[in-house]
Amino acid sequence: MPRFLDRRHATDPARFVKRFPDLHRYTRLDDALEAGADLALIAAVPAERAALAVRAMQGGLDVMCDKPGCTTLAQLESLRSTVAQTGRIWSVNFSERFETPVSTLASELVAAGEIGRVVQTVGLGPHRLNRATRPDWFFQRDRYGGILTDIASHQIDQFLHYTGSDAAEITLAHATNHANPGDPGLQDFGEIGLRSAKASGYIRVDWYTPDALPTWGTAV
């Protein structure tokens, strides 16, 4: 039977049981780690994901995190050292590449050489704020990691993947709050420039999609 450590619905167990009737619910991390699973799936508050991943790997589990997998360079170093020490797999589910048909087709076209060598990418990530449904941590910079760490991690992943780059230099990084002065911890606009030995890229992300639009974002 699948097993699940419940953090999000800790104060509303009935809601968890209703949504996931086939999952066994744990309220203690140690109980979940000792339950005999092979893989930990982590979608906690972004700033907490690295520490949970380290504990899971030290407990003998491979790990897949929701993006972003971590929010600081210190957390990243901790993850790297734990992977080296334990030999476990730590991975991040970048859903905009792994779970969308258009991205799958783009990967196939690039791999087949149908569009030639990719020398430049442009990634746009407009998002709807959905303020009424956001938890408190969403507006706290140290807990969600900032807009570039959060949203733009998708486009950085895509740049590396589609250009066949193992690493990239950040040539431009800017994030600010233009439209939400009442939430000083929120960054609602960000942009990044990237350059690798093979290509260059530009990324623009925001929380400006109007509530009335039927999709999560728009592309121009």
Please write the tens of the pLDDT for every residue from 169-186.
999 999 999 999 999 999
Query: Measured between alpha carbons, how far is 155 from 194 in angstroms, rounded to an integer?
Result: 10
Query: Measured between alpha carbons, how far is 5 from 12 in angstroms, rounded to an integer?
Result: 14
pLDDT of residue 146: 98
pTM over 0.75: yes
Domain over 96-209 is classified CATH 3.30.360.10: yes
Mean pLDDT on 26-35? 86
Equal fold, 3-94 vs 96-209: no
**103: helix, coil or strand?**
helix
Is the peptide bond between 68 and the residue preceding it cis, with omega within 30 degrees of 0? yes
How do the domains of the chain map onto residue ranges? 3-94, 96-209
Amino acid present at 75: Q
Query: Measured between alpha carbons, how far is 48 from 27 in angstroms, rounded to an integer?
Result: 16
Please write the tens of the pLDDT for every residue from 107-163.
999 999 999 999 999 999 999 999 998 999 999 999 999 999 999 999 999 999 999
pLDDT of residue 35: 86
Average pLDDT score, the chain: 91
Look up the CATH architecture of domain 3-94: 3-Layer(aba) Sandwich (3.40)
